[in-house]
Amino acid sequence: MKIATEEMGRFVQRFVDQLRAAAELTRMRILAACAQGELAVSELAQILGQSQPRVSRHLKILADAGLIASMREGNWTFYRLERNTTRLPAMILDLIDRNDPIIVSDRQRLAAVRERRQAEADAYFSAHAAQWDAIRALHADPGVVERHLLAFVPSGAYGVHLDVGTGTGRILALLAPHVRESIGVDNSRAMLAIARDRAGRSDANIGLRLADMYALPLSDASVDLVTLHLVLHYAEAPEQVVAEAARVLIPGGRLLIVDFAPHDIEELRLRHAHRRLGFSDEQVQTGLTSVQTEMLPGQALTVTIWVADRHEAADMPSDLRRTAAEASI
């Protein structure tokens, strides 16, 4: 009984601490911005129109109260809403008027920050479209990775394959002989041009679409297999990309994510537009049933394959989808 009372006391105290931390204009704006995805301090400073040291002080208060989580990656730290906490952040976000002028202008500045980042990435991809396969070979031995990937796609087990961020269409071509239909999605015309050229030279049933990985042009539960091959480390909000990929999977479908394990090669960010320096298992939360994780060490980078299946409706990535949906302030 005493223990229960103590625990209750701790919970109430935590709740009060969180209310105190959130009850300040800038910090409430930070919560609203972080609800839209992970943001670095420099980006939050642009959105809020405040200096980085000032924003950092607010971030520390929010983090100490357990309202936001931080993830350090090389020289950058990203902030997002804490998932394992009270319902307070969700309640606050519910109560904030999305048409409030302060929130509206923060949202506009956040959109501008994202556009700038996307423009940099687009410029990089356009400039490197032709050499992409060669650049890819620098990361890890693609042959080995692809052999392991194939082992998770038994021939004939999956009908429609969707490759998100398909680039030059290499993964589509690899899996095409084992599926009925292949769809590649990418937001770079330059990449798609090369993928189209490759698909045109094969007999496989491959379709390519210019689209954003955050808003796939496919209905819920419409494909059997989704791959995200060396794409997630470019994402502004990886968890939203994963949730969107899981959304289009049918029950029984499979999600295969191939990306780097955490590393500290900052140069990939500076020179190759990587947004994230790899992912830990904990960061790759699909909301599906994790089947297996396989690590393929390379010289400088370890490639990881995360295999997750959607067994039934209850398996939908509810947490992630809720985060993405509720976050639309």
Closer to ligand SAM by Cβ: residue 185 or 308: 185
For ligand SAM, which is the closer residue by CB, 167 or 253?
167
Residues in 139-168 at the binding interface with ligand SAM, rule: CB under 6 A: 165-168
With vertex at residue 321, the alpha carbon angle to CA 318 and CA 327, rounded to the nearest 5 degrees, is 130
Closer of 17 and 133 to ligand SAM (Cβ):
133
**Residue type (1 letter), 35:** A
Q: How far is the CB of 274 from ligand SAM (least distance, A)?
A: 9
- 240: contact with ligand SAM by CB under 6 A: no
Nearer CB in complex with ligand SAM: 59/140 = 140
- The reply on whether position 230 binds ligand SAM by CB under 6 A is yes
N-terminal to C-terminal alpha carbon distance within the chain: 41
Is the CB of 59 or the CB of 173 nearer to ligand SAM? 173
Q: Would you say 232 and 238 are in contact if contact means Cβ atoms under 8 Å apart?
A: yes
Does 229 engage in binding with ligand SAM (CB under 6 A)?
A: yes
Which tokens in the block code for residue 106? 């923060």
**Number of other CB atoms surrounding residue 2 within 10 Å:** 6
Assess 234 for contact with ligand SAM (CB under 6 A). Answer: yes
d(CA 68, CA 80): 6
The site map against ligand SAM for 8-47 (x = CB under 6 A) is ----------------------------------------
Q: By the 8 A CB rule, do 173 and 194 touch? A: no
- Residue 254 makes contact with ligand SAM by CB under 6 A: no
Smallest gap from residue 107 Cβ to ligand SAM (A): 19
In the chain, count of helices (H) and strands (E)? Answer: 13, 10
Can residue 125 be called a binding residue for ligand SAM (CB under 6 A)?
yes
Residues 177-206 that bind ligand SAM (CB under 6 A): 186-188, 191
Which residue is associated with the tokens 């609800």? 35
Q: Taking the C-alpha atoms of 130, 135, 140 and 144 in order, what is their torsion angle to the nearest 10 degrees?
A: 20
Binding flag, residue 171, ligand SAM (CB under 6 A): yes
- C-beta of 92 vs 242, nearer to ligand SAM: 242
Contact 301, 140 (CB under 8 A): yes
199/217 Cα distance (integer angstroms): 20
Instruction: Name, in order, each residue with C-beta under 8 angstroms of 177's C-beta and a sequence gap of 6 or more.
Output: 155, 204
Based on the shown chain and the rule CB under 6 A, indicate whether residue 213 belongs to the binding site for ligand SAM. Answer: yes
Where do contacts with ligand SAM occur on this chain (CB under 6 A)? 121, 125, 136, 165-168, 170-171, 186-188, 191, 212-213, 229-231, 234
